[in-house]
């Protein structure tokens, strides 16, 4: 394709957008509204996912070591655990540190623990976090096999319930988003189809005077792309300011501080890129599908 022809297609695409004012408006609104709904769900799903991951990441294995253990043996065990597959972090809490922590937790009643320094009843402990919290049971089982490890504890029953719940939440979120994306595509391609239908005479004449199919398609390609991008701009703006407002009000309300929301950045970029990409794809796909029917002359 000649550069001049390409310029013509782009110009023609813009001109069509301007010329079919109301059609453009309705197509852009359809894109905007569906992308807005999709965006809200996306934000919701991403935050739920984030919340779930935060909770999951708090899952850790407490590895208690034998009371009679020697410092050199502790080092050996440390290396052994480190070499296991899927270990993210490994922290050693000596029995002395354990006692200090316990005292802190007792607060005013810490005097009850006095004298325990002489004969510390606590174990030396390793705290292990897994890369994949869902596979924590396998890891725990492996650690248990190591010599001088007296017990491993990761709250088996609670953790397995938690993971069943989070898997469900994630799956339902996915289904919702895929369903919404399809609805958006259907709605938008339908609207674009109407705008193209109004121009079937133009396409017919182009075919009759010998325009190639791609010559006819390009302006519609440009138009679909523009419609999609224009339709994505509004929801991005609304979502950006809405989410910012939400973050501000959540951080201002202490009672909600246990809920961790995703920070504005890079979330804003991710959502913006996703919505623009989706809008562009839907716009192009919709207009290509619609023009196809009229090219068969």
Partner 1 sequence: MVGPSGAGKSTFIKLMYREERPTKGQIFLNGYNVERLKERKIPYIRRNIGVVFQDYRLLSNLNVYENIAFAMEVTEAPKKQIKRRVPEVLELVGLADKHNSFPNQLSGGEQQRLAIARALVNNPAVIIADEPTGNLDPDTSWEIMDLFEKINFRGTTIVMATHNKEIVNTIKQRVIAINNGQIVRDEHKGGYSYEG
Nearer to partner 1, 18 or 252 (CB): 18
Give the residue, chosen from 44, 102, 194, 205, that forms a contact with partner 1 under the rule CB under 8 A.
205
> Binding of partner 1 at residue 207 (CB under 8 A)?
yes
> Binding of partner 1 at residue 5 (CB under 8 A)?
yes
Instruction: Please state the closest distance from residue 12 (CB atom) to partner 1, in A.
Output: 9
> Binding of partner 1 at residue 23 (CB under 8 A)?
no
Q: Per residue in 202-241, is it b (16+ CB within 10 Å) or e — as a string?
A: ebeebbeeeeeeeebbbbbbbbbbbbbbbbbbbbbeebbe
The CA radius of gyration of the chain, in Å to the nearest whole number, is: 30
Which is nearest to 175 in space by CA: 40, 27, 21, 45?
45
* CA dist., res. 38 & res. 275, Å (int): 9
Nearer to partner 1, 77 or 217 (CB): 217
Give the residue, chosen from 202, 233, 261, 264, that forms a contact with partner 1 under the rule CB under 8 A.
202
Give how many residues touch partner 1 by CB under 8 A: 20
> Binding of partner 1 at residue 245 (CB under 8 A)?
no
Instruction: Please state the closest distance from residue 35 (CB atom) to partner 1, in A.
Output: 30
| 27, two tokens | 């197509």
Nearer to partner 1, 2 or 83 (CB): 2
* CA dist., res. 239 & res. 189, Å (int): 24
Provide φ and ψ at 65, rounded to 5°.
-105, 160
Tell me which residues touch partner 1 (CB under 8 A). Answer: 2, 4-5, 8, 19, 201-202, 204-213, 215-216, 297
């Amino acid at each position: 394709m000649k550069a001049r022809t390409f310029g013509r297609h782009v110009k023609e695409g813009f001109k069509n957008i301007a010329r079919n004012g109301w059609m453009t408006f309705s197509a852009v609104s359809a894109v905007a509204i569906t992308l807005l709904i999709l965006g809200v769900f996306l934000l919701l799903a991403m935050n739920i996912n984030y919340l779930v991951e935060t909770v999951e990441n708090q899952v850790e294995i407490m590895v208690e070591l034998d009371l009679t253990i020697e410092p050199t043996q502790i080092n050996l065990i440390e290396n052994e655990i480190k070499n296991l597959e899927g270990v993210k972090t490994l922290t050693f809490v000596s029995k002395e540190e354990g006692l200090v922590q316990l005292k802190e937790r007792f607060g005013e009643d810490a005097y009850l623990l006095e004298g325990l320094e002489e004969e510390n009843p606590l174990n030396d402990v390793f705290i292990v976090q897994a890369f994949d919290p869902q596979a924590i049971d396998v890891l725990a089982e492996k650690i248990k096999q190591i010599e001088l490890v007296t017990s491993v504890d990761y709250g088996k029953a609670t953790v397995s319930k938690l993971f069943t719940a989070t898997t469900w939440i994630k799956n339902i979120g996915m289904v919702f988003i895929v369903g919404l994306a399809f609805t958006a595509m259907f709605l938008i391609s339908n609207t674009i189809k109407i705008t193209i239908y109004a121009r079937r005479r133009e396409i017919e004449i182009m075919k009759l005077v010998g325009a190639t199919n791609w010559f006819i398609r390009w302006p519609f390609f440009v138009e679909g792309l523009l419609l999609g991008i224009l339709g994505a701009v509004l929801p991005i703006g609304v979502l950006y300011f809405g989410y910012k407002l939400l973050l501000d009000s959540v951080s201002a309300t202490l009672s909600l501080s246990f809920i961790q929301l995703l920070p504005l950045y890079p979330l804003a970029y991710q959502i913006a890129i996703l919505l623009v990409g989706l809008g562009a794809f839907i716009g192009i796909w919709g207009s290509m599908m619609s023009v196809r029917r009229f090219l068969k002359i």
